[in-house]
Amino acid sequence: MLGKPRQRVFEGFAREHHSIKYISLSARLAEGETEKGWLVTNPHHVTSLVRTIFVHRIKTAKKGGTMSQKIAIVYHSETGNTRAMADMVRQGCMEIKGVEVKCMPVADIDQAYIEQSKAIIFGSPVYAGTCSWQIKKYFDIDAKNIGGKIGGVFVSQNSPGGGGCFAEMVVIASMLVHGMLAYSGGANNKPYVHFGAVATESREKDHNKEFCLQLGRNIASKVVELFGT
């Protein structure tokens, strides 16, 4: 039984962090933390759960500050354009304090990292007006435990009107089917990222880079906003 002052601190903490503590909880379970307090599911045990989170936060702060949230970038690339975009999106994410980012080819997925990630950003070349079959295969066959995570997308196309936006919508549809929370940031920050970042022709062009950086910033900011650091 908690004394009254401590109880008030914990209740305040619970209010302040609202539902995010539950999301953090499942992520930490995925990371393999097995402290008793994490396993609480009964509402009567919420106080004990909040106390465990509270203690964890204090320990994290003592260790030197904040906890970083993971973001995974999963891409397919044959000739390097989409891979270059992946690196630019990563740079954009890294501008936001409190995140760590890992790029991985879709053929070489780090499943443990995926499961710990709060967001996954997918990159594909445009093939015949849609995403590549390699990315579609990931969603159709290989994807595991990606539900509930934020999802973003970027594509590389050869020519304006080459199907980039449609390719992105196909990826977004797959995200939704898996229960992901599709997000781009939209027209809130410039340059506007509509469905996701689209690079056309040369990957070296500045406007292509700016869209990729902005997508990364948008996704990373949302991760920090929703899940904290």
Ligand X SMILES: Cc1cc2nc3c(=O)[nH]c(=O)nc-3n(C[C@H](O)[C@H](O)[C@H](O)COP(=O)(O)O)c2cc1C
Binding site for ligand X (CB under 6 A): 77-83, 125-129, 156-159, 162-163
Closer to ligand X by CB, 32 or 160: give it.
160
* CB 84, min distance to ligand X, A: 8
Residue 40, H or E segment: none
Choose among 138, 225, 144, 223: nearest CA to 179.
144
Closer to ligand X by CB, 116 or 156: give it.
156
Residues 6+ apart with CB under 8 A from 188: 218
Q: Which residue is nearest to ligand X (CB)?
A: 162
Output b/e per residue, 87-116; b: 16+ Cβ within 10 A. bbbbebbbebebbebebbebeebeeeebbb
110 within 8 A of 75, measured Cβ to Cβ: no
Closer to ligand X by CB, 123 or 185: give it.
123
Closer to ligand X by CB, 3 or 161: give it.
161
Residue 106, H or E segment: none
CA angle 56, 61, 67 (to 5 degrees): 75
* CB 155, min distance to ligand X, A: 8
* CB 9, min distance to ligand X, A: 51
Phi, psi of 80 (to 5 degrees): 100, -10
* CB 199, min distance to ligand X, A: 7
Closer to ligand X by CB, 58 or 107: give it.
107
* CB 156, min distance to ligand X, A: 4
